[in-house]
Amino acid sequence: MAKDIGIDLGTANVLINVQGKGIVLNEPSVVAIDTQTGRVLAVGSEAYKMVGRTPSNIRAIRPLKDGVIADFDITEQMLSYFIKKLNVKGFMSKPNILICCPTNTTSIERKAIRQAAEKSGGGNVYLEEEPKVAAIGAGLDIFQPHGNMVIDIGGGTSDVAVISLGDIVVSRSLRVAGDRLSNDISSYVKKKHSLQIGERTAEKAKIEIGTVVAGHRKKEMEIRGRDIVNGLPRTIKLSSDEIEKALRDTMLSVIAAAREVLEQTPPELAADIIDRGVILTGGGALLDGIDQLFSDNLKVPVMVASTPLDDVALGTGALLDHIAKSKKKTK
């Protein structure tokens, strides 16, 4: 019998949860291809090591951009590679696959995701909205008549949703998230220090010294890059407060989306959110001071989920069980 699998198809990482085993794969969503032959050379972690370091005939591609499939063929090859690696196919049967997508994915984008999963060897393919799955993974009981609010800040998209009785009541999805924050840091360093840095360096700075509340963290790190003026390598010191300045505008746009969702939430559910608070999940939830920033701006309690990076993948496992149980009941 093939085991069902849940996939968190993220812009930055792909996580796969296999029924009965939990999360068995967590790799960057990157594929390295030979541009002359079109052959896939590496996928996942191996390909990520090549980002920004490839000769001209090799390209390290992220097939998902802002939570959406930007390159269909390569997404399909990446999914096939990961699913083959797991060896979950049964002798005769194909695994059911549950894939998560951002709330504002268009029907054409959904069709592309579904086709990629079917072609990579899936049986029935289910699509679910990311914040709903993340809420389940974060341990919220979304099938009860309570209002739960989730802010899921991933690599490509930030999703804000209020959920009750197992469904999304109000939601907003922004194509602004972790990748944009890394770009903000690169742009800031370029403008302020006339230094060009790579995407991996910006991400490292975001994780190691970044903060979204001024004065909350007092760290410095050496950043190496290329001087824009003379083209030579140069090192500078970057501080946490500088990163807060760089990230400010993007963070304010996510807060504005959360505010809009709260303003459109029915009063009974809004009252629940004041009691129960807001859960932050996704990689962005690991940013220093983020719970304080949201709490100060939204005037409600805000908590960071205990496993923000894994919540969507964990939620897919719980939802697949839910689907299987419902099927048994209807039989």
Can you say how many angstroms the Cα of residue 277 is from the centroid of all Cα atoms in its chain? 22
The C-alpha angle with vertex 217 and arms to 154 and 221, in degrees rounded to 5, equals: 85
Q: Is 284 annotated as a binding residue?
A: yes
**Would you tell me how many other CB atoms lie within 10 Å of the CB of residue 123?**
15
DSSP state of 283: G
Report which of 180, 219, 220 is spatially closest to residue 199, judged by C-alpha positions. 180
Q: Is 52 annotated as a binding residue?
A: no
Q: Is 147 annotated as a binding residue?
A: no
Distance CA 198, CA 53 (A): 10
The C-alpha angle with vertex 26 and arms to 21 and 155, in degrees rounded to 5, equals: 135
Q: Is 307 annotated as a binding residue?
A: no
Residue 42's Cβ-side half-sphere holds a number of Cα atoms within 13 Å equal to 16
Q: Is 283 annotated as a binding residue?
A: yes
For residue 124 the two structure tokens come to 């029935």
Report which of 183, 179, 171, 187 is spatially closest to residue 154, judged by C-alpha positions. 179
Q: Is 140 annotated as a binding residue?
A: no
Rounded to the nearest 10 degrees, the angle between the axes of helix 130-137 and helix 311-330 is 90
Report which of 64, 87, 67 is spatially closest to residue 76, judged by C-alpha positions. 64
Q: Is 256 annotated as a binding residue?
A: no
Q: Is 157 annotated as a binding residue?
A: yes
- Contact present, 17 and 28 (Cβ < 8 Å): no
Residues of each annotated binding site: 11-13, 155-157, 283-286
- Annotated binding-site positions for ATP: 11-13, 155-157, 283-286
